[in-house]
Amino acid sequence: MASTTLFFLLLCSPTLSHAFDSASWSSFLWRRADTSRKVPEQGYYNPQANGGSLLTQIPVTYPMGQGEPVNAIISGLSDTDVLVDSEVNGGLRNYFLSFGFSSECLGQKSVGNQKVDLGDGNGYQNETSTIRWNYGDPALGSCKETIQGGNHFRYWVQNGPLANSGAIFMAVSYELPLARQHDIIPDGYNLGRDWLIGNITQSSIPTRNLTDSSAYSGSTSWAGYTYQTDIKYLPGLLQNTSDGINHNITVGVDGINAVDGLVALFTVRIATRPSNSPSSNAAWSNTPLQLLKPATLVAALSIPLLLSLCS
């Protein structure tokens, strides 16, 4: 009995109850909230079906009305762990690192925030973050990209109440150096998308020869996680045009439109995990019935009970 009391008292210590609050408890809630995610067969909802758009709004050019194309989507049918915005447990930021892209230089927040309406009921939302090619240096390479220019993308999550697919929408472009105001290089939307895909497939993508049935796949690794990415180019989400596209005067070259109208859809699976990681959380959270496992229920129900003893 004494040892049980001691156990309860320990639970009431600030550190432990905080641990329950912020870690186990919120991850339990997160997984439960996650079951409200409903992914259509194609892996995302077309933003235009609900008043949204695959062109961004830019504070500088809006209301002039020029935007940048959202030209890649990570499918909501990807492994659940990949769709979590995290560097641990094989999450999204670890996936980005696996093909050479790092978070903003020294944690700074980009000045040029862009917005997009993914038709999910949340309206226009600021980008979640800007991610930059790291020139092979995961810690500081994105600083080099900020100054010298290079490939980068902004992304948004389609998770509003009207279209909660969990898909990640990315606007990829290759920018000029900071000294040149970060304009986009000629053909820099199509090339940025395809160089990023080239980094995943370790092969050169023939941008000018792509069709609406082009498909590729590749395998990349970071921190013991290996990701298998299947890529399909989709027509019809963006227009093949230069009209209304930011920097269209310099980006559209040789009679080629600034935007070729193709959006790359990535479906990502975690093929291998480090041996010390929990096997597959994807299976766990994809199966709502798992929530009813006695051990899970007992653990879940006892946490609020134990916490209530603290007050």
> Which listed residue (94, 98, 103, 199) binds ligand NAG by CB under 6 A?
199
Contacts of 295 (CB under 8 A, 6+ apart): none
Check residue 252 for interaction with ligand NAG (CB under 6 A): yes
We find the least distance from the C-beta atom of residue 83 to ligand NAG, in angstroms, to be 21
**Dihedral of the alpha carbons of 49, 50, 55, 60, in degrees to the nearest 10:** 170
Check residue 242 for interaction with ligand NAG (CB under 6 A): yes
Closer residue to ligand NAG in complex, CB, 52/261: 261
Give the residues across from 102 on adjacent strands.
Answer: 132
Binding segment toward ligand NAG, per CB under 6 A, in 22-30, 252-260, 273-281, 289-297: 252-260
Check residue 209 for interaction with ligand NAG (CB under 6 A): yes
Closer residue to ligand NAG in complex, CB, 166/188: 188
- Give the residue ranges of DSSP H helices in 139-208: 141-148, 188-201
Burial class (CB in 10 A: 0-12, 13-18, 19+), 185: buried
We find the least distance from the C-beta atom of residue 149 to ligand NAG, in angstroms, to be 10
Check residue 249 for interaction with ligand NAG (CB under 6 A): yes
Applying the rule CB under 6 A, the residues between 112 and 171 that interact with ligand NAG are: 113, 126, 133, 150-151
Burial class (CB in 10 A: 0-12, 13-18, 19+), 51: exposed
Closer residue to ligand NAG in complex, CB, 121/244: 244
> Which listed residue (54, 261, 263, 270) binds ligand NAG by CB under 6 A?
261
| Exposure b/e, 1-37, CB count within 10 A at least 16 = b | eeeeeeeeeebeeeeebeebeeeebeebeebeebeeb
Binding segment toward ligand NAG, per CB under 6 A, in 3-11, 89-97, 243-251, 289-297: 243-251
For 69, phi then psi, to 5°, come to -80, 135
Binding segment toward ligand NAG, per CB under 6 A, in 43-51, 80-88, 152-160, 253-261: 253-261
| Exposure b/e, 74-108, CB count within 10 A at least 16 = b | bbbbbbbbbbbeebebbbbbbbbbbbbbbbbbeee
Write out the residues near ligand NAG by the rule CB under 6 A.
59, 65-66, 113, 126, 133, 150-151, 195, 198-199, 202, 204, 206, 209-210, 240, 242-244, 248-249, 252, 257, 260-262
